């Protein structure tokens, strides 16, 4: 893992003097939209705080940065990726594209934006967990085919970890009507605190795999 400046150096010197092993905190930036930001929830119930708490409970020395912005598109993510990836960031979660679909942005534009985000991470040797999603059928088969291919193809190209859907744990519920009532807010788009907890339990192991990739 990369050295984290004077604070880590001082801690390391103290640890060596005491004969203790040096362990550095892993910092993960979560770049996303309202699902990442925690729309409609009190702060501690949002995705990033719940995921951080889950990882710490699993024994990880980790800190997560909430880089989610409600309403953000892949273009917005690309515009702010450089200042999101500060020197202390070790890894990144990318969960963008839902608002591209809502605005019917051409798939080639979304692909170019996500490619730019992954390229920025790759240039800095920062491992990425890319979270995808599928287009609805109402834009036509060509649009859906082109959009759905973006995430797995870019993940393969850049060697990123890949998860098919942020809401996959909820979409896997047998009774979707009951899942909507139990795990979603009244807008039917954003998960409630219980829904986020279920999402975190499903994504957590993949984030631990991301942490394992940090050099």
Catalytic positions, please?
Answer: 34, 187, 190
Q: In what order do the strands lie in the sheet with 62-68?
A: 62-68, 26-32, 91-95, 128-131, 161-163
Find the helix packing angle between 193-212 and 47-57, rounded to 10°: 60
**Is 71:33 a contact under the CB 8 Å cutoff?**
yes
- Judge contact between 197 and 50, C-beta under 8 A: yes
The whole-angstrom separation of Cα 30 and Cα 192 is 19
């Amino acid at each position: 893992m990369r050295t984290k400046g004077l604070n880590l150096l001082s801690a390391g010197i103290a640890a060596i003097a005491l004969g203790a092993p040096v362990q550095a905190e892993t910092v993960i930036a979560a770049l996303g939209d309202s699902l990442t930001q925690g729309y409609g929830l009190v702060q501690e119930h949002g995705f990033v705080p719940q995921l951080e708490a889950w990882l710490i409970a699993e024994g990880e020395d980790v800190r997560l940065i909430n880089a989610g912005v409600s309403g953000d598109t892949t273009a917005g993510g690309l515009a702010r990726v450089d200042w999101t990836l500060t020197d202390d960031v070790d890894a990144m979660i990318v969960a963008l594209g839902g608002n591209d679909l809502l605005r019917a942005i051409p798939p080639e534009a979304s692909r170019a934006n996500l490619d730019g985000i992954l390229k920025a991470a790759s240039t800095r040797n920062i491992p990425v967990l890319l979270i995808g999603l599928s287009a609805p059928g109402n834009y036509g088969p060509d649009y859906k085919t082109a959009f759905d291919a973006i995430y797995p193809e870019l993940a393969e190209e850049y060697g990123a970890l890949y998860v098919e859907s942020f809401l996959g744990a909820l979409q896997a519920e047998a009774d979707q009507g009951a899942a909507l009532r139990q795990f979603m807010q009244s807008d039917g788009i954003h998960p409630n605190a219980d829904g986020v907890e279920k999402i975190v339990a499903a994504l957590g192991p993949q984030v631990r795999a991301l942490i394992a990739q940090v050099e």
